[in-house]
Amino acid sequence: MQGSGKIGGRLIAEVAAVAALFMLGQFLISTGMLEQYYQIILTSMCINIILAVSLSLINGFTGQLSLGHAGFMAVGAYASVVMTNRLDLPFIIGILAACLGAALAGFIIGVPTLRLKGDYLAIATLGFGEIIRVVLQNIDYVGGPSGIMGIEKYTTWAWLFASTILTLVVIVNLINSSYGRAIISVREDEVAAELMGINTTRYKVIAFVVGAMFAGLAGALYAHYFYIIKPESFTFMKSFDILVMVVLGGLGSTTGAVIAAIFVTALTAFLQSFPAIRMILYALILIIVMIYRPQGLMGNKEIGRKTLARLWGGKR
Amino acid sequence: MQEFIQQLINGLSLGAIYALIALGYTMVYGIIKLINFAHGDIMMVGAYVGFFSLSVLDSNILVAMIYAMLACSILGVLIEKIAYKPLRYSTRIAALITAIGVSLFLEYFTLFLLGPAQRVFPDTAFPVNNYNIIGVSVSNKDIFVIVSAVILMLILQYIIRMTKTGKAMRAVSEDKDAAVLMGISVDKTVSITFAIGSSLAAAAGVMIGVYYNTVNPLMGIVPGIKAFVAAVLGGIGLVPGAMVGGFLMGILETMVSGYGNSLYRDAVAYGVLILILIIKPTGLFGKNTGDKV
Amino acid sequence: MKRKISKKLAIIMAMVFMFSIIAGCGGDTKTPEKTDPKAATDKIKVGLNVELSGGAATYGTDARDGALLAIEQINAAGGILGKQLEPVVRDNKSAADEAMTISSALVGEKIVAQIGPLTSGDVAGSTPIMMEKKIPLIAPAATAVNVTVDEKTQKVRDYIFRVCFIDPFQGTLMAQFAANDMQAKTAVIYKDTSTDYAKGLAEYFKKTFEEKGGKIVAEEGFVKDDRDFKAVLTKIKNLKPDFIYVPGYYQEVAPLIKQARDLGITATIGGCDGWVSDDLVKVAGAANLNNTFFTTDFSAEDKDEKVVKFVNDFKAKYNKSPNSFNALGFDAAQMLAQAIKDAGEAQPEKIKDALAKIKDFVGVTGKMSIDASHNPIKAGVIVEYKDGKHVMKTRIQP
């Protein structure tokens, strides 16, 4: 009981820290101290964190190369917008529809394709992502290629913050649970995992569905902030962007994914001042970082309390 | 029936181009297990080299093709040496991201240098004649594309099957470590593979330029990804697979547009790919190998 | 387990926190230089939020070139109200979310108005910022009806203007021409399905053509960057339509027409202002373009004095003949200059009011007045290709 008291104390402290952070963000935004431009970047950052962390569960922890993440984001974005914009339902219903829709899509796509290995899975998921896009392009109810314009701006700081925290809590929890150990065993050695009696397909599908669900959440937040969605926003290039964050952060590191998402968003914003060569610089940075740090910024390590404690200890 | 034959010819010439690009993908994959996403962009560079040698140097089409193939084989080797070689022993996904970086770099560097607007191949580069055979229209362009694609594939087969270099390439792709022990230089073999693969892409680029008259900096993306799908369709890493996959992809797209709904062309192409992967995960020509413990 | 999570959580939060602080500070430190009174007085900043990379890079670059030429000429002639115009060019990567970010960045740079983005979708991304910050936006080429008018409330978006035709105009015009002048009874629509522009045109063409008693025998589509159209064309050939409507851009339309003629399709082909480019003739071939017509507001072969001057100036600066995007970018900047002059002060809200009152403004895409829905009222022309040359067929005043 002694130990649990200590944990309880820590938990309270952490909840307080999170709450304080939220309040601070809310304060900066509502007083206008954080200019709109930075607000938009902060929003992109949160959405990218959700996308990167959810893809990192699939690519980094489960070791299944998926190139269709933008497709799930598209499903989430469209599902939520149909609810709020077409059917005039509240945002929370839109969010739920996005999560469920994307999870369902993840399940439908995951079950047949996750038997595939490595690059075959990559290309199959890429194919599915593109199919989702082509299908959306041909549904007139959701605007065809022009998409849906004039989406209500429901994505507030509160929603963003809560969603980002929720994603982190759920995915970190999942990874540290017995499910997570099974999932990582699939990555490390699928054959050995199977021999140990782990139903590898089941765990792959679980990771895939959870990852897809959060991509859907990101899609809903995206749609209700950026005013318009169209199929063209969700091509395989978008999937690549997310993959870049995951690999840059380090495969199998949630903190890495978070840092890389922040880094890439900030980099994109920074490069805006060089309109003519921004994509060239982006490409060069990508190549150079990969050559000098192929394992990603964090490798498969995490920044946790232990790391900090060690640093602290060192200083003392 | 006439319409069907016409569609088949349309599909074959489109497929020949896909097949040529797919060959480069598959060769590189076979030897270093890297999906070289920059391959489509190497094709684009080839198309530009072809364009400039036709319009500035006034060379004829075959000379332009040779220039393009030479330039791109050098480019391919350089890309491998600079960007991929340092990553040969790290994870494959790191190399994949680098390939995406190289692809973006080639696209946007070309765009920066030459502007995003398309360039038009000179008319004189390839005078077109249309032949009308029992209601089916065939142009000398179709014949040129299909014939030169087949010739290049035959040359490639010869190199891989009959020459020492080809033997080395097969050995490295089969078992890199054993190949080293047999005295094969892996670096050299990989370089040669990139040179050959890139020059095939360059040939495809010039063909696309001639066939559709235009080049632009982003022209490599779509055919690149389609050709990659074609390579997987046939069984990635396998040369005959890439050829058949390329032709199949071309014919499939043509048939969907011709007899089905053109709006769903890309969806059907990817759908068939997924179906084939699910039924036979290693592609049409791939051998199923179980996992070793 | 729970403990471990919360550990990581804390660190992550700390980092997000740090970043927000950094971002916040960045904003603070930048503010003084932005409100520098001197910089604000001798120059008028105009934002160019255009597509320089990504799928719409050609359109964005073309419009930018046109707009920069206009700004250069205005400045050479002494500027406006005695001040020079200063263009601030930013790349929105052909993405709606990026267009929004760029707009907010431009607002931070204290622009008085924004030109661009080009596509309707990217304009939509930029719209909320411009509306909220009350800064006018002139769209050179966004043709969707709902760009300037809110679909749901039918309210005009105060700060959003455009200089191009809207979709219904061109589609209807071509349908009338096909049914009345060409006596077409059957038509095939072969449209670029990847742009809302082409889809919109096709929709109104279909509506009007059917109202006139015509029959659409097939509706086909291609997507941007397609270069092979033979499969669908072979199918169309066997349908033997009187008329083929091909709304789209010249990059795809040129090889399409060439392949159609190569396959022996002789039917009349109709198009839209996206066709306007020298490349159309170069790629498709002059002979193949006979019996094709397109609707437009701009032709580089127009003998109008203003157009001739524009074409010559453009050729001198960029060494190529202008297309419709170049012209629309040029007109967007010119119209903005006119509005600033009319307003008498480079103040966004006054510019907006002046834009709404623009009347008989003479641009290179024709004489136009802004109507109540912020669309330009300008004449449409049907141009015929005769041996590679433009021949004005009919001019239709709205």
Interatomic CA distance for residues A94 and B177, integer angstroms: 55
Q: Are residues A141 and A180 in the same domain?
A: yes
Nearest CA in chain B to C284: B213
Buried b (16+ CB within 10 A) or exposed e, C333-342: bbbbbbbbeb
C367 within 8 A of C395, measured Cβ to Cβ = no
SS3 assignment, position C394: strand
How many domains, in total, are found in chain C?
A: 2
According to DSSP, residue A115 is labeled T
**Average pLDDT value for residue range A49-77:** 94
Q: Are residues A65 and A128 in the same domain?
A: yes
Q: What pLDDT sits at residue C211?
A: 94
Residue C339: domain span: 38-165+304-378
Domain parsing of chain B, residue ranges: 15-121+131-219
Q: What pLDDT sits at residue C24?
A: 41
User: Is the backbone of residue C134 left (phi > 0), alpha (psi -120 to 50) or beta?
Assistant: left
Q: Are residues A120 and A168 in the same domain?
A: yes
Taking the CA atoms of B31, B37, B38 and B40 in sequence, report the sign of the dihedral they define: positive
pTM: 0.86
How many A/C residue pairs have CB atoms within 8 Å? Answer: 176
Q: Are residues C281 and C184 in the same domain?
A: yes
Q: Are residues A145 and A267 in the same domain?
A: no
How many domains, in total, are found in chain A?
A: 2
Nearest CA in chain B to A116: B281
Q: Are residues A65 and A131 in the same domain?
A: yes
Q: Are residues C358 and C337 in the same domain?
A: yes
Q: Are residues C241 and C204 in the same domain?
A: yes
Q: Are residues C176 and C279 in the same domain?
A: yes
Alpha carbon distances (Å) from A128 to A69, A133, A212, A235, C272: 10, 9, 13, 11, 34
| Final residue belonging to a domain, choices A234, A255, A288 | A234
| Final residue belonging to a domain, choices C296, C327, C352 | C296
Question: Is it the case that residue C123 has pLDDT exceeding 90?
Answer: yes
Q: Are residues C244 and C290 in the same domain?
A: yes
Question: Is it the case that residue B200 has pLDDT exceeding 50?
Answer: yes
Mean pLDDT, rounded, of chain B = 87
Question: Which tens digit of pLDDT belongs to each residue from A216-234?
Answer: 999 999 999 998 999 988 9
* Interface contact flag, B97 A191, Cβ < 8 Å: no
* Interface contact flag, A222 C6, Cβ < 8 Å: no
A175 within 8 A of A61, measured Cβ to Cβ = yes
Domain-located, residue A297: yes
Question: Is it the case that residue A4 has pLDDT exceeding 70?
Answer: no
- ipTM, two decimals, is 0.87
Q: Are residues A169 and A99 in the same domain?
A: yes
Interatomic CA distance for residues A82 and B30, integer angstroms: 45
- Among A35, A176, A255, whose Cβ lies nearest the Cβ of C27? A35
On chain A, the residues whose CB falls within 8 A of the CB of B87 are 290-291, 294
Q: Are strands C292-296 and C380-386 parallel, antiparallel or unpaired?
A: antiparallel
Q: Which chains lie within 8 Å of chain A at 3 or more CB pairs, if any?
A: B, C
Q: Are residues C253 and C373 in the same domain?
A: no
Q: Are residues A170 and A270 in the same domain?
A: no
Domain-located, residue A30: no
Q: What pLDDT sits at residue A314?
A: 46
Q: How far is C29 from chain B (nearest CA, A)?
A: 33
Q: Are residues C316 and C288 in the same domain?
A: no
Q: What pLDDT sits at residue B67?
A: 95
Question: Which tens digit of pLDDT belongs to each residue from C71-111?
Answer: 999 999 999 999 999 999 999 998 999 999 999 999 999 99
Question: Which tens digit of pLDDT belongs to each residue from A247-279?
Answer: 899 988 999 999 999 999 999 899 988 887 888
Check CB contact of A283 with chain B, cutoff 8 Å: yes
Q: Are residues A208 and A93 in the same domain?
A: yes
Q: How far is C90 from chain A (nearest CA, A)?
A: 5
Question: Which tens digit of pLDDT belongs to each residue from C6-24?
Answer: 444 444 444 444 444 444 4
Check CB contact of B181 with chain A, cutoff 8 Å: no
Q: Are residues A88 and A147 in the same domain?
A: yes
Residues 6+ apart with CB under 8 A from B20: B149, B152, B153, B200, B201, B203, B204, B207, B246
Interatomic CA distance for residues C167 and B285, integer angstroms: 49
| Final residue belonging to a domain, choices A188, A208, A234 | A234
Domain-located, residue A311: yes
- Between residues B36 and C38, which one has the greater pLDDT? B36
Residue A73: domain span: 61-234
Nearest CA in chain A to C25: A34
Q: Are residues C222 and C108 in the same domain?
A: no
Check CB contact of C4 with chain A, cutoff 8 Å: yes
Domain-located, residue A15: no
Q: What pLDDT sits at residue A306?
A: 63
Q: Are residues A110 and A100 in the same domain?
A: yes
Check CB contact of B225 with chain C, cutoff 8 Å: no
Mean pLDDT, rounded, of chain A = 88
Question: Which tens digit of pLDDT belongs to each residue from B99-124?
Answer: 999 999 999 999 999 988 888 888 77
* Interface contact flag, A255 C11, Cβ < 8 Å: yes
Q: Are residues C131 and C177 in the same domain?
A: no
On chain C, the residues whose CB falls within 8 A of the CB of A11 are 2, 6
The CATH number that applies at residue C129 is: 3.40.50.2300
- Among C57, C221, C234, whose Cβ lies nearest the Cβ of B263? C221
Nearest CA in chain B to A249: B94
- Of the candidates C143, A223, A67, the residue with the CA atom closest to the CA atom of residue B97: A67
Check CB contact of B229 with chain A, cutoff 8 Å: yes
| Final residue belonging to a domain, choices A177, A210, A234 | A234
C143 within 8 A of C175, measured Cβ to Cβ = no
**Average pLDDT value for residue range B149-160:** 89
According to DSSP, residue C370 is labeled E
> Which residues lie across from C85 on neighbouring strands?
C44
Question: Is it the case that residue C396 has pLDDT exceeding 90?
Answer: no
* Interface contact flag, B139 C262, Cβ < 8 Å: yes
Q: Residue C41: pLDDT band by 50, 70, 90 thresholds?
A: low
| Final residue belonging to a domain, choices C296, C315, C336 | C296
